Amino acid sequence: MTSSLLSGQIASAIYSGFKGKLLKATLRRAGPALSGGLDIRGDPIATDPETWDCQGFTDGYSDYLKANGIPQTDVRVQIFAKSLPAGVKPLKDDKVEIPKGSGTWFQLRRADTDPATALWSCQAFSVKAPT
């Protein structure tokens, strides 16, 4: 199997099997200002957020994982890769509202995917809605 088969046909088949059965969500990324401005610490000013519609679901961690380092309050946010526009992938510190319009937001600690890039499994924690 080639990586193009994995990332293309298999990921599409998995997504099409779940399409319509998933929660609608919003992936939000705060990016540096277009001017390239910096704050007083020299960090980029994050004022121009980008958002993308996506689909997925949330899942809890097992008691075993929570007893071995996963914070008790963390959840797994699962995002189907084919529900995102081409080239967009979840990144650390992105925020996800799931279900969309619910006001329930999570900030990503990490984002990993499977070899087929069909599903992004993101460790996340609850946060206030971004402003």
68-79 pLDDT, tens per residue? 999 999 999 999
Residue 119 lies in a domain: yes
pLDDT on residue 100 = 95
Q: Determine what percent of the chain is predicted with pLDDT higher than 70.
A: 85
Least confident among 10-19, 77-86, 109-118 = 10-19
- Put residue 119 in one of left, alpha, beta given phi > 0 → left and psi -120 to 50 → alpha: beta
In a domain, 39, yes or no: no
For the chain, give the longest Cα–Cα distance: 51
Using alpha carbons only, give the angle 94, 100, 104 rounded to the nearest 5 degrees.
Answer: 65
Residue 89 counted as domain residue: yes
pLDDT digits 0-9 by tens, 19-54: 677 899 999 998 765 566 777 887 766 667 899 999
Return the number of other C-beta atoms located less than 10 Å from residue 13's C-beta.
12
Tally of domains within the chain: 1
Whole-angstrom distance, CA of residue 54 vs CA of residue 83:
5
CATH number at residue 58: 2.40.10.270
Give the structural domain span for 105.
3-32+45-127
Q: What is the pTM of this model?
A: 0.78
Q: Residue 57: which of 83, 74, 78 has the closest Cα?
A: 78
